[in-house]
Amino acid sequence: MSVDALGGSITALVTPFKDGLIDEDGFQRLVDWQIKSGTSGLVPMGTTGESATLSHEEHNRVVALCVEAAAGRVPVIAGAGANATSEAISLIQAAEKSGADAALVVTPYYNKPGQEGLYAHFKALHDASGLPIIMYNIPARSVINMSVDTMARLFELPRIVGVKDATGDLNRVSEQRAAMGPEFIQLSGEDGTALGFNAHGGVGCISVSANVAPAECAAFQAASLAGDTQGALEWQDRLFGLHEAMFCEPSPGPAKYGAGKRLGLSGEVRLPMTEPTAQGRARIDAAMNALGIES
């Protein structure tokens, strides 16, 4: 599937568990429901999928399950990030072997490489795989910020095609557009600012909220990308409470709770993450009820 199809509402999928193990059937039901609800792309094994606490074998299995369940209906952008370049290479190669359409690669966390290290890391992944790569810039988690200049250098490579931007800085969209042009795929990593992100030149969002409200997030993106400013703003107003509720307690607990209510899945998470408290669950319930999507 061509990466030209990347855009709209792309869900950063949760990974359902059952008694501590991957709920394979539940995960594939989640994938099918997402696609039937209008989701235009899927990201297994991102932060929301709890990639940090899954083994490599589990990680690769989840990507393969997603590709199988999607069955070519929408692009699958496999998470393939790690703070060791060799580990990231093994993940992107496994994703390619499984049939993923692209890879989402986060800037290496904890190590704090410089800009030259970032360039070398992404180039190594580019050279080790035939998959298109979406860079993932999220300074709040990785403690490093990829510069626009480094992105521009990487965009010169044929299979580095865009960015998931979770900087929260809407100026970055215009700066990146000026440096790399409209062909550079810019996807928001924040549901709450996705409306402004698209207005600056973005083409969609890799969404947490879409785990819980896929049809509504898809409708919002469709209106936004069609230039229906009023319609998109109305959806933004309706969805904003859910966006906030998804981070009322550490993610992905709220998203797993909400998706679990809708599909009858467990809300289990792996330590050190914890499930939402009673207060958090009440807030998520209220946001879902306000959208008319309670279970």
Show which residues are catalytic.
Answer: 136, 164
Matching residue, tokens 């970032």: 118
**Residue 105: CB partners within 8 Å, gap ≥ 6?**
80, 81, 88, 92, 122, 125, 133, 134, 135, 136
| Side-chain half-sphere exposure of 46, counting CA atoms within 13 A | 32
Our CA angle for 233, 35, 107, nearest 5°, is 75
β strands within 66-201, DSSP E: 77-79, 102-106, 133-137, 160-165, 185-188
Give the Cβ contact number of residue 246 at 10 Å: 27
H or E segment to which residue 293 belongs: none
Nearest Cα neighbor of 207 from 9, 29, 7 is: 9
Helix (H, G, I), strand (E, B) or coil at 69: helix
**C-alpha 119, offset from chain centre:** 22
Do the beta carbons of residue 87 and residue 111 sit within 8 Å? no
